[in-house]
Structure 1
Amino acid sequence: FCLIPLMPIIILKPSHMNSNDFHQLWLHPHLNLLILFAILLFTIFKMTRRRQVYLLDFSCYNHHLPHSSSLTLDKYMNTCKLYSTYNDASIEFMDKILKRSGIGDDTTVPTTLTSLRPDLSLAASRKEAEDMIFDALDNLFANNVDVEPVDIDVLVVNSGTFSPPPSLSAMVMNKYKMRNNVRSFNLSGMGCSSGLIAIDLANNMLQVYKNSYAIVVTTENITNNFYPGNKKQMLVPQMLVPVCLFRQNCTAILLSNRSSDRWRAKYKLAHLVRTHIGADDLAFRCVYQEEDDDGITGIALSKDVVVMAGNALRRNITTLGPLVLPLRELLQFAFAVMFVAKKLFNPNMKGYVPNFKLAFEHFCIHAGGKTVINEIQKKLRLSADDVEASRMTLHRFGNASSSSIWYELAYKECKGKVLKGDRVWQIAFGSGFKCNSGVWVALMDVKPCPNNLWEGCISKYPIHLDL
């Protein structure tokens, strides 16, 4: 590299220069200054260039296992009626929520929750976590035989609320006998958007350590979050909604920053934008774990949760828009003609919403509930096809927490919809309150991995749902 400045001289005047001339030229201060400047530019380039992060594969928890129990809506209600802890008001409310939820009859919960006396012990919670995480990881390693557990350099495990010592990441290291110098992280308490937070952490680690593999495991624990209480005054609706909607879920994702892995990678990470509005008191309290008057712990959802999700989404797309929108749409967004008119002339006029369908071919919206999907579809002006994967995921698997956006991507892969060059927008919301966006670019016509969780049932989807 240092000899590059000499090449034009050698090419242009080879016959008029001898070895002594080259020696004098090498000592010339101007040439040395040029070489130093070139080295400086090269160093700056190497230090500021971000490494590409590739998604090699991902695997979702297989719901048809002995430790899972299919839960039709009728079976769910019949089981709840047998619980001595639920009163008639709670049963009536839960029945109403389930009928309006958009959830179907094929979702699953741990078998410990379908008995007359549900087992809510720490041992049962830990067993649920082990079953889901190990199933997803076993399938991931089976589908990628050239990557073994000892090859993993970065491990990130996240679970919204379940965080026992030793950590879930330590549990994974112990099971798969990973190296003792693995950069291991365990995230908790960050809600349904923690999957993309874990991806962001793994991405940052892969910018530091070259030629590395990273695994991200994103899950939630149903046993640990089950609420058997009846608090009437304010949280019959607030604490029983999560009980009605959440189901078993886990996804394991394999990432790499090795340039040699580009040829076999499914996607590359293009952008990851995180928005946190926790400074606002209403946003901070809208998803809150607390105890009722009887000392029973549950997660309370406030009536402001949908409004806070909309506020977080607006701020998130304000940051994401300039990164992904085409120039024409970006100019309209930047000048905000409609926004100015709204403020100066007509306060009732709606602000300008960019057409994100010009930037993305696929949308994976967190399937937190029918209301959440409807609101995001309305705010982003999306079609029924755009939110099909979100609605079908909610119907088949319930609220899969931080894994839902991966279940939706698996749905699109199983349908053969993800083609080379397609851009995928994953949108997730979580307690705090947070809205996170991940943008992936497909590097091939993506086919579903073996043992895809939609295998065996994809032919009946999409189905018509009452919106």
Structure 2
Amino acid sequence: MFTISLILGWILYIMNRPQTVYLVDFSCYLPPSHLKVSVKKIMSHVRVIREQGMWAKTGEHDYLMDFVEKILERSGLGQETYIPEGLHCLPLEQTMAGSRKETTDVILGAVDNVFRNTGVSPSEIGILVVNSSTFNPTPSLATIIVNKYKLRDNIKSLNLGGMGCSAGVIAIDVAKSLLQVHRNTYALVVSTENITQNLYLGNNKSMLVTNCLFRVGGAAVLLSNMSKDQKRAKYKLVHTVRVHTGSDDRSYGCALQEDDEDGLVGVSLSKDLPMVAARTLKINIATLGPLVLPIREKLRFFVTFVRKKFFDPKIKHYMPDFKLAFEHFCIHAGGRALIDELEKNLHLSPLHVEASRMTLHRFGNTSSSSIWYELAYTEAKGRMKKGDRIWQIALGSGFKCNSSVWVALRNVKPSTNNPWEDCLHKYPVEIDI
């Protein structure tokens, strides 16, 4: 009887234990070369747009052009980022058709490459999660993929919208949860953003900043919960940590899509953004730290916390040394200031943030997909070794700070059509102060 109970208990454990989630491969979209733009080309284009009367209050507020140029020059973006075809045209083509083309080119380009590199058939995909914050047409982007690749009728598909630059980690977390329920299957996660219809043509400075930072990009990630994929998978997912402080009004309003005083839609960035980002990051770190840090760092953090709370409120928070927990850091390339701040607060070296800075320089802010361009950079440089731990951290409107932690299962080589393969010899580059 005891033996039977033991066997039944073992069977129940096997059936209900958490499924290991493997990252088989991923692909980042590389736009065609004719979509490249330099700062000089952008400024020339902007001036023509204003002269043709496509910009609100043409002839007024010329100082705004100086403002835009200064942001572009100090942003950390290089001279070969990409904007969509509709924004290269004169007059601008900010149409639904243009927006569909931008997003379809990006997501299908990335997904095609993942299927090609892995040999996985679209019919094997059981879960599909797509995220795009500001462009959510009907039928959905997920349905576009289902239709293009003729995915099976019982596909578990979700389309995440309005969740900002941190949505890529949210999509991974959602896929992970679904992979715990649906066994022996693949999950396809697609992260992108659309800027064709989101170019702001007004005179609000806080809304013009996004024009200077966001560029074309996207990524497709293939996950598996099947043990047979362990030998060929690149990484194993260890943790996901999500923090959402949207219940606070300042967090909710620090990055808000709204009408300006002339009725033009843009995303306004409030003066509270740095404070909100720092606070949300601290909460994420406090949650993630106990999961990944060595015992010594946990104790130092705990002792400082107790002393501050019960004895001396003036004591500074202890920032754990996350370099003891991770070999690689993929910090969302949201902007130069964001990378600078995390480098300083986490006490990282220039090498630790190199992938983030170079991604911002080469591709700009590609929103939720930027952390994958960074991982692709690390692979292309040949730095990813078996057992290395990776921290992907992304911040976005809401306000949200999300983390995903991976472990390399082997010495990882870049996959075919890595977005850096044609320009890697140029990097790293010096970023002007």
TM more than 0.5: yes
Indicate whether 1:91 and 2:50 are aligned.
no
How do residues 184-263 of structure 1 correspond to structure 2 at under 5 angstroms?
Answer: 184-230=157-203, 236-263=204-231
**Separation in 1, partners of 2:344, 2:307:** 22
Task: Please report the TM-score for the alignment, with normalisation by the length of structure 1.
Answer: 0.88
Matched with 2:272 is 304
Matched with 1:455 is 421
How do residues 314-325 of structure 1 correspond to structure 2 at under 5 angstroms?
Answer: 314-325=282-293
Whether the 8 Å contact between 1:342 and 1:351 is mirrored in structure 2 is no
Match of 1:278, SS state, is coil
Q: Which of the residues 137, 142, 145 maps onto 2:111?
A: 137
Aligned residue type for 1:103: L
Whether the 8 Å contact between 1:421 and 1:444 is mirrored in structure 2 is yes
**Separation in 2, partners of 1:440, 1:341:** 32
**Separation in 2, partners of 1:346, 1:213:** 49
Aligned residue type for 2:360: L
Matched with 1:116 is 90
Matched with 1:270 is 238
Match of 1:153, SS state, is strand
The RMSD of aligned alpha carbons is 1.5
Matched with 2:28 is 60
Gap regions ≥5 residues in structure 2? none
Q: Which of the residues 442, 461, 465 maps onto 2:408?
A: 442
Whether the 8 Å contact between 1:268 and 1:443 is mirrored in structure 2 is yes
**Separation in 1, partners of 2:397, 2:11:** 41
Gap regions ≥5 residues in structure 1? 1-31, 231-235
Matched with 1:340 is 307
Q: Which of the residues 153, 157, 166 maps onto 2:130?
A: 157
What displacement does 1:49 show?
A: 1.3
Give deviations 1:9-46, integer Å, cap 9, x for gaps: xxxxxxxxxxxxxxxxxxxxxxx3x3464256335523
Give deviations 1:162-211, integer Å, cap 9, x for gaps: 10100000000111111111111100000000001000111111101111
Give deviations 1:339-365, integer Å, cap 9, x for gaps: 625874472x42110000000000000
Matched with 2:17 is 49
Match of 2:405, SS state, is strand
**Separation in 1, partners of 2:287, 2:47:** 47
What displacement does 1:285 show?
A: 0.4
Matched with 2:41 is 75
Task: Please report the TM-score for the alignment, with normalisation by the length of structure 2.
Answer: 0.95
Question: Which shifted more, 43-52 or 310-319?
Answer: 43-52
Whether the 8 Å contact between 1:268 and 1:440 is mirrored in structure 2 is yes
Aligned residue type for 1:418: M
**Separation in 2, partners of 1:101, 1:222:** 18
**Separation in 1, partners of 2:308, 2:266:** 45
Give deviations 1:145-170, integer Å, cap 9, x for gaps: 2x111111101111011101000000
Matched with 1:177 is 150
**Separation in 1, partners of 2:91, 2:267:** 21
